[in-house]
Amino acid sequence: MKKLFLSLLAASALLSLPSFIASPAHPTTAAAVRKAGPETYAVQPQLSTLGWVAKKVTGQHNGTVPLKDGSVQVKGNQIVGGSFTFDVAGLKILDVTNEGMNARLTTHLKGDDFFSTEKNPTATFVITSIKNIKADAQGNNAEVTGDLTIKGITKPLTFPAKVGVKDGVAAASGVATIDRTKYDIKFRSAAFFSDLGDKAIEDTFTLNFNVVAKKDARS
């Protein structure tokens, strides 16, 4: 009887333990623990533009290159990355109105003296970093760095840009200056050929861009 009484007493004591004793915590999901990753915004080629200007001693030419496709990585209201493919084979010259001259010059630019588009129809740019800067007179508020590939040759490129994200739309605009000789485009370059006179073509050309991307429903 004494043993039965002690057993009942012990059971009563256990049942009366304070209710705040912690119960085993439910495992927290990995998604809740890790910080939200960047979202993917799909580039809108029909809303984006890429223009080029190339200068020579006697003047200059300008045109466009179609943006084929691409994506932008967005975290919060900041662009943090992106990759873009350009249809170099689809480049156009806008300032030469004579059809015959335009066709000849376009063929030359697509040939091996310049972009070799039969072998390398596209060029790519992959963002490796974006640094916020104080906005300048042109509204550029970021310094963009990435890898530009032309003719299968990849070189780093840094340029200022105006970037922003609002209401599911990411946009970037600016001007990048490119040294064509780094991509084995040396035709009439004074750095490689002497006595060119007024036939010399500047080693650098500029790309003015306006890229628009929208939030990808799959992200």
Number of domains making up the chain: 1
Any domain includes 63: yes
pTM of the model: 0.82
**32 or 114, which is more confident?**
114
Any domain includes 30: no
pLDDT level of residue 35 (50, 70, 90 thresholds):
low
Any domain includes 165: yes
For residue 195, give the CATH number of its domain.
Answer: 2.40.128.110
Any domain includes 15: no
- Residue 33 confidence (pLDDT) above 50: no
- Residue 16 confidence (pLDDT) above 90: no
Any domain includes 147: yes
Q: What is the mean pLDDT of the chain?
A: 87
Q: Which residues of 207-217 are buried (b: 16+ CB within 10 A; e: fewer)?
A: bebebbbbbee
Any domain includes 12: no
Residue 167: phi and psi, rounded to 5, are: 50, 45
Residue 150: phi and psi, rounded to 5, are: -130, 130
Any domain includes 58: yes
Structure confidence by residue, pLDDT tens digits, 122-167: 999 999 999 999 999 999 999 999 999 999 999 999 999 999 999 9
How many CA atoms, within 13 angstroms, populate the side-chain half-sphere of residue 108?
9
Give SS3 for 122.
Answer: strand
Any domain includes 31: no
Structure confidence by residue, pLDDT tens digits, 185-200: 999 999 999 999 999 9
Interatomic CA distance for residues 130 and 135, integer angstroms: 14
Domain that holds residue 162: 39-215
Beta-carbon neighbour count of residue 104 at 10 Å?
12
- Residue 63 confidence (pLDDT) above 60: yes
